Amino acid sequence: MRKYQLKLNDNDYMVHLRDLSAKEATVEINGKEYQVAITSVAEVIPEGIVASGSAPAPVIAPASVAKSKTGGANAGSVLAPIPGSIMEVYVEVGDKVKAGQPLFKMEAMKMENEINARIDGTISLVSISLGDTVNQGDELIIIGA
């Protein structure tokens, strides 16, 4: 996904965001991979900025309470990590996928994000198509065993 070159206390770090979902992220820092649990997500809006020139922009709900389109998430659920638009869908129902395999590409905050499978399995539901707009936490694909 994204790579960052960071400096902290005069130390350089190469950070590669490998996979991002509503509940966890896989990051590689200076060549070592870490699984990071995401406990909440909030959109930070600079003070004085308003949406549509009237009301303040909404704050994104924490991923743990976001509702899915199909009513609930399970271990094979692939949720939208952030609001965005679907640019490409690489899989369809019945396809076998491996962990790390790209499932779809979405545009969010003017960036293209490729969303990958977290587990091996067979696609049992695809609820998105090219051009769809999704909200954070929407259940987009289900991978069955």
* pLDDT tens by residue, 45-83: 555 544 444 444 443 333 333 333 444 456 788 998 889
The answer to whether 100 and 116 are in contact (CB under 8 A) is yes
In a domain, 49, yes or no: no
**Which CATH number belongs to the domain containing residue 106 in this structure?**
2.40.50.100
> How far apart are the C-alpha atoms of 96 and 122, rounded to whole Å?
4
| pLDDT tens-digit map of 118-133 | 899 999 999 999 999 9
Beta bridge partners of 20: 25
DSSP state of 70: T
Expressed as residue numbers, the domain containing 13 is 2-39+65-144
Distance separating alpha carbons of residues 117 and 88, to the nearest angstrom: 15
Q: Which two tokens stand for residue 86?
A: 């679907």
DSSP 85: E
Is 78 contained in some domain? Answer: yes
Q: Is residue 80 in some structural domain?
A: yes
pLDDT per residue as tens digits for the range 7-43: 888 888 888 888 877 678 888 888 888 888 877 665 5
Number of domains in the chain: 1
